Amino acid sequence: MRHGKKIAKLGRTKAHRKATLNNLFCALIINESIKTTKSKAKALKSFADKKIACALTADLNRKRKFKSELGSKQAYYKLFETIVPQYKERSGGYVRVIDLSLGRRGDGTIESIVEFV
C-alpha cells in the first residue's frame, strides 16, 4: 500500500532522482518552458515551487547553496535577477503544468509542458 508516500520515485535511486529534478529545474529557469513526461512534470512542479519559495526568502548562505546546487551560473543569475522579483507578492503556484493531448511518438507516453506562471 502507498499510504503516506508522497514522493514520485520516477524509477530512479534517490541520488539519480535528485540530479534529474535539479537538471530539469535548471533547464526550466534558463528556457522558462520545457517539455517532458507527465510524471516528471508533476514531480518537477512541487520541487520547483519549494525551491522558488525558498529563493524568495534567501539570505547569503541560501544563495550560495543555490549556486552550488544549480551548477550553472546562468541559471543562478537568471533565477535571482529576473524570476524571484516577479513572485515577491505571490505566495505559491509559481509553476504550471499543461498536458499535451498526443502521446510521444515511439512509446506513446503522455507529455507535458512545464512553464512559469
Q: Is residue 5 part of a domain?
A: no
Q: Is residue 50 part of a domain?
A: yes
Q: Is residue 8 part of a domain?
A: no
Q: Is residue 9 part of a domain?
A: no
**Predicted confidence pLDDT, tens digits, the chain (117 residues):** 778 777 888 889 999 999 999 999 999 999 999 999 999 999 999 999 999 999 999 999 999 999 999 989 999 999 999 999 999 999 999 999 999 988 888 899 999 999 999
Q: Is residue 106 part of a domain?
A: yes
Supply the CATH number for residue 112's domain. 3.90.1030.10
Domain count, the chain: 1
C-alpha separations of 15 from 12, 62, 112 in Å: 8, 21, 24
Q: Is residue 55 part of a domain?
A: yes
Q: Is residue 6 part of a domain?
A: no
Residue 103: its pLDDT value, please?
Answer: 86
Residue 68: its pLDDT value, please?
Answer: 93
User: What pTM did the predictor assign?
Assistant: 0.90
Residue 40: its pLDDT value, please?
Answer: 96
Q: Which triple of cell numbers denotes residue 112? A: 507535458
User: Backbone phi, then psi, for 33, in 5-degree steps?
Assistant: -160, 130
Give the structural domain span for 27.
14-116
DSSP designation for 89: S
User: Cell numbers 512541487 label which residue?
Assistant: 46
Burial per residue of 10-31, b for 16 or more beta-carbon CB atoms within 10 angstroms, e otherwise: eeeeeeebeebbbebbbbbbee
